[in-house]
Chain A
Amino acid sequence: MDPLTPKDVEHIAQLAYIKLSDEESEDMRIQLTNILGHFASLSTVDTDGVEPTGHTTDSNTVMRQDEPKPPLSQEEVLRNAPDRDGEFVRVRPVLE
C-alpha cells in the first residue's frame, strides 16, 4: 500500500479528537504505514459471500423490563467531573 501522508494523519486525528504534536504525527504516520503494510495480505483471502462476524455469541438486542430503578445520586454523577459549577458540569463553548 501507499504510505500514509501527513494529511491522512491529520484527518484521522480530527476524526479521533486527539491532538498530536508534529513529532508525534510523523511517528504515527511511519508506524501506521508499517503496521498496515503487514495487513495487506488479508486482501488475498477469498471472502466472497462470507458473512461478517461481529460477536461470537448470538447476541440479540436485550430489553429489560420497563421498570424504574434507583438511579445514581446527582452527587455521585458529578463528583468525578474535572470542571464543575455547583450542580452543573462546565464545558467550553460548543461554537466559536
Chain B
Amino acid sequence: MTTQSDNSDFYFSTARELRAKFDAREISSVEATRSILERISALEPSLNSYITVTAERAIADAELADRRLQGSGQEPTSLTGIPVMVKDNFSTKDVETTAASNILKGYIPPYDGTVVSLLKEAGAVILGKGNLDEFAMGSSNETSAFGPVHNPWDTDRVPGGSSGGAAAGVAAGECFIAFGSDTGGSIRQPAAFCGVVGMKPTYGLVSRFGLLAFGSSLDQIGPLTRSVADCADALNIVSSHDLRDSTSVAPPFTDFGKDIDAGVAGMNIGVPKEYLVDGMDLGVREAFEASLKTLEDLGANISETSLPLTDHALAVYYIIAPSEASANLSRYDGVKYGLGVFDGKTSAQATEAARGAGFGDEVKRRIFLGTYALSAGYYDAYYKKAQQVRTLIRREFTDAFLKFDALVTPTSPSTAFKIGAKIDDPFQMYMNDICTIPVNIAGLPSISVPGGMSNGLPVGLQFIGPQFGDTMVIRAAAAYERATNWHQNHPLI
C-alpha cells in the first residue's frame, strides 16, 4: 500500500471545495481533471474501480467547463468542471456500456440516458464508467465480468455492491462524485463499506431512462459523495420529470439542500429494533449506539420503535426483484446487440446459447428465481404474495412516519468483508442487504453517511425518511456530519 500522497488534500476535497477553487482561479477544471486521471492510472491496478476511463473526452469536457466557469456562455452550475464517475449501467452515447456483463461487452449505445444528459448539460466532467456487480446484482462487486473492485481501506476486502466502483472511486479520490443505482442498497451499502455518503432518493425523483433495468419498481439512481452538501447539490442536478420514464414524478422540485443547516433539535427519530439483527458485528452495533448518543446530544428525540414486517422484507425483495429482472433481461437475446452465439440450429437455440454463455452465475440465479416465481402454478404463492406483503410493509412505514420525522439504522449489519468470504453462499450474501432492502420496497428516500470505524473499517449510518422526505434525510444527515469527523477519515492510499 502506498502512503498518503502530498496531494491528498486535493484528492479528498469535496466538490464544493473544488468548485470554490475554480472560482478563486486556484486551479482549472482541466488541471483538476488531468490530476485525477493520473491518480486513476496510479490506483487502478490495486482498486479496479473503473471499467472504462474516457480520458480524452474528460479533458474536452473540462476545457468546455473552464470556458463556462470564466463566464462565456451558460451560467455555471454546482457541478460545472467537477470530475465525476457514472456507473457502467448508465447508457452513454458512443462510450461502451457493459453493466459488467459478458453479454454486453463491446456494446456502444447510440444514446445518453437522462441522468448522463443532465450531467453533461450541467457541465460535469465524466471521467468514465464505474465497475459494478453484473447488472447490479450483488452486494460485493465480485460478480463483475471485469473482476472485483478492491476496498481502498483494505484491498483484501470488498467495497460492497453493487455500486462498488463508485464507492471505492469516491473514497480513494479517483473522482469527486459518483453516480450509482440502488435497487436494494446498491448505493448505500458500498457507501457504508467505503466510508462515503450515498443516497437513494425517493423512487421516481430521478429518471431511470437509460439506466439498464434490473428491478424497475425498485431501481433508483443517486449520488455517492464526500459530503452531505455535495449529495444535495448532485441530487438537485439529476432529479427531473422525464416523459421517457412513466414512473418519473412531476415537479415542482425543491432545493434538496434547503434545510441542510436546520439541525435535528426537536426532531423525532425512530430506531426500528428489527434492524438490529442477530449476528450484527459488535463494532457496528457500538458505532450505532454512539451515533444515537450524538443525535440525542444534538437535541433529537430518539425512541425505539417496531416494524415487525422487516423480517419478511428479504423474501419480498428476493421474489420481486428477480421477477422484474427476469422480464427486463429477456431483451438480451444475442440478436440486435451484445454477445451473439451461433452454434445452434434455430434462433431459439442461438438465444439460449448466447444467454448461457453471456450471463454470469448470479444473474442466471436471479433470472431462474424470477422465472420460477412468475411461472404458472407459483405466481400467486410467490409473486402476488410478495406484492401484497409489499403493500403491508409500505403501510407499516407510513404509520411509523406519523410518529417520526425520520428513522435511523445501521446501513449494513457488517463492515466490509473479505473478498471470497460470501460469494459461495448466495443467501448469506443476500442477508447483507437486510437494513437497506425495506427502503426500496417502500420507495422511500434514504442516505448513508460515515458513522464510525470498527477495526479500521468504516461503518455506515442510515437515515430513512417518508416518501418525498428527501430534504428531511439530508437535513438529519448533515446535522450528524457536522457533529462528527468520520467523513474526514480517508484511506491511506
Binding site for B on A (CB under 8 A): 8-9, 11-13, 15-20, 24, 28, 31-32, 34-36, 38-39, 41-43, 45, 47, 50-57, 59-62, 64, 72, 76-77, 79-83, 89, 91-96
Instruction: Report whether A18 and B369 are in contact in the complex, using a CB–CB cutoff of 8 Å.
Output: no
CA A17 – CA B387 in complex, angstroms? 25
Query: What chain A residues lie within 8 Å of B368 (beta carbons)?
Result: 9, 12-13, 16, 18, 28, 32
Binding site for A on B (CB under 8 A): 106-108, 110-111, 203-204, 217, 243, 246-247, 249, 309, 311-312, 314-316, 318-319, 326, 330, 333-340, 342, 344-353, 355-357, 359, 361, 364-365, 367-369, 371-372, 375, 381-382, 384-392, 394, 426-427, 430, 442-443, 467
Instruction: Report whether B391 and A52 are in contact in the complex, using a CB–CB cutoff of 8 Å.
Output: yes
Query: What chain A residues lie within 8 Å of B342 (beta carbons)?
Result: 83, 92
Instruction: Report whether B427 and A34 are in contact in the complex, using a CB–CB cutoff of 8 Å.
Output: yes
**Looking across the interface, which residue of chain A has its beta carbon closest to that of B431?**
A38
Q: List 9 A-B contacts (CB under 8 A).
A: A13-B368, A17-B330, A34-B427, A36-B369, A36-B372, A45-B388, A82-B335, A93-B346, A96-B346
Min CB distance A70 to B, Å, is 12
Instruction: Report whether A93 and B347 are in contact in the complex, using a CB–CB cutoff of 8 Å.
Output: yes
Assuming the contacts A42-B316, A95-B346, asked whether A61 and B246 have C-beta atoms less than 8 A apart, the reply is: yes
B346 contacts which of A19, A53, A92 (Cβ < 8 Å)? Answer: A92
Query: What chain A residues lie within 8 Å of B372 (beta carbons)?
Result: 8, 12, 32, 36
Query: What chain A residues lie within 8 Å of B467 (beta carbons)?
Result: 56
Assuming the contacts A16-B367, A53-B391, asked whether A77 and B110 have C-beta atoms less than 8 A apart, the reply is: yes
CA A43 – CA B386 in complex, angstroms? 9
Instruction: Report whether B382 and A39 are in contact in the complex, using a CB–CB cutoff of 8 Å.
Output: yes
Instruction: Report whether A15 and B388 are in contact in the complex, using a CB–CB cutoff of 8 Å.
Output: no
Instruction: Report whether B426 and A31 are in contact in the complex, using a CB–CB cutoff of 8 Å.
Output: yes
Query: What chain A residues lie within 8 Å of B391 (beta carbons)?
Result: 50-53
Query: What chain A residues lie within 8 Å of B336 (beta carbons)?
Result: 77, 80-81, 89
Instruction: Report whether B367 and A82 are in contact in the complex, using a CB–CB cutoff of 8 Å.
Output: no
Instruction: Report whether A31 and B365 are in contact in the complex, using a CB–CB cutoff of 8 Å.
Output: yes
Other contacts beyond A9-B368, A42-B385: 12, CB < 8 A: A18-B368, A32-B368, A47-B385, A55-B443, A57-B249, A61-B246, A80-B106, A80-B338, A92-B346, A92-B347, A94-B347, A94-B348
Please report the number of residue pairs spanning A and B whose Cβ atoms sit closer than 8 angstroms. Answer: 176
Query: What chain A residues lie within 8 Å of B217 (beta carbons)?
Result: 54-56
Instruction: Report whether B427 and A35 are in contact in the complex, using a CB–CB cutoff of 8 Å.
Output: yes
B388 contacts which of A12, A52, A55 (Cβ < 8 Å)? Answer: A52
CA A77 – CA B111 in complex, angstroms? 11
CA A20 – CA B339 in complex, angstroms? 17
**Looking across the interface, which residue of chain B has its beta carbon closest to that of A60?**
B246
Instruction: Report whether B346 and A54 are in contact in the complex, using a CB–CB cutoff of 8 Å.
Output: no
B110 contacts which of A18, A62, A72, A91 (Cβ < 8 Å)? Answer: A72
Query: What chain B residues lie within 8 Å of A79 (beta carbons)?
Result: 108, 110
Q: Quick one: which of B246, B249, B326 has the most chain A CB within 10 A?
A: B246
Assuming the contacts A12-B368, A35-B369, asked whether A18 and B352 have C-beta atoms less than 8 A apart, the reply is: yes
CA A57 – CA B81 in complex, angstroms? 34
Instruction: Report whether A57 and B356 are in contact in the complex, using a CB–CB cutoff of 8 Å.
Output: no
A16 contacts which of B246, B326, B334, B340 (Cβ < 8 Å)? Answer: B326
Min CB distance B32 to A, Å, is 33
CA A80 – CA B438 in complex, angstroms? 38
B338 contacts which of A59, A64, A82 (Cβ < 8 Å)? Answer: A82
CA A56 – CA B440 in complex, angstroms? 9
CA A32 – CA B334 in complex, angstroms? 26
Assuming the contacts A31-B426, A42-B385, A82-B339, asked whether A52 and B348 have C-beta atoms less than 8 A apart, the reply is: no
Min CB distance A94 to B, Å, is 5
**Looking across the interface, which residue of chain A has its beta carbon closest to that of B350?**
A92
Min CB distance B97 to A, Å, is 10
Instruction: Report whether A80 and B365 are in contact in the complex, using a CB–CB cutoff of 8 Å.
Output: no
Instruction: Report whether A55 and B247 are in contact in the complex, using a CB–CB cutoff of 8 Å.
Output: yes
Instruction: Report whether A52 and B312 are in contact in the complex, using a CB–CB cutoff of 8 Å.
Output: no
Assuming the contacts A52-B388, A55-B217, asked whether A80 and B347 have C-beta atoms less than 8 A apart, the reply is: no
Query: What chain B residues lie within 8 Å of A64 (beta carbons)?
Result: 243
Query: What chain B residues lie within 8 Å of A45 (beta carbons)?
Result: 309, 312, 385, 388-389, 392
Instruction: Report whether A83 and B388 are in contact in the complex, using a CB–CB cutoff of 8 Å.
Output: no
Query: What chain A residues lie within 8 Å of B382 (beta carbons)?
Result: 39, 42
Query: What chain A residues lie within 8 Å of B345 (beta carbons)?
Result: 92-93, 96
Instruction: Report whether A54 and B387 are in contact in the complex, using a CB–CB cutoff of 8 Å.
Output: yes
**Looking across the interface, which residue of chain B has its beta carbon closest to that of A8?**
B372
Min CB distance A49 to B, Å, is 9
Instruction: Report whether B312 and A43 are in contact in the complex, using a CB–CB cutoff of 8 Å.
Output: no
**Looking across the interface, which residue of chain A has its beta carbon closest to that of B382?**
A39
**Looking across the interface, which residue of chain B has its beta carbon closest to that of A55?**
B217
Assuming the contacts A47-B392, A82-B334, A92-B350, asked whether A57 and B371 have C-beta atoms less than 8 A apart, the reply is: no
Query: What chain B residues lie within 8 Å of A9 (beta carbons)?
Result: 368
CA A59 – CA B384 in complex, angstroms? 19
Assuming the contacts A38-B315, A93-B345, asked whether A53 and B387 have C-beta atoms less than 8 A apart, the reply is: yes
CA A55 – CA B388 in complex, angstroms? 12
CA A72 – CA B112 in complex, angstroms? 12
**Looking across the interface, which residue of chain A has its beta carbon closest to that of B426?**
A31
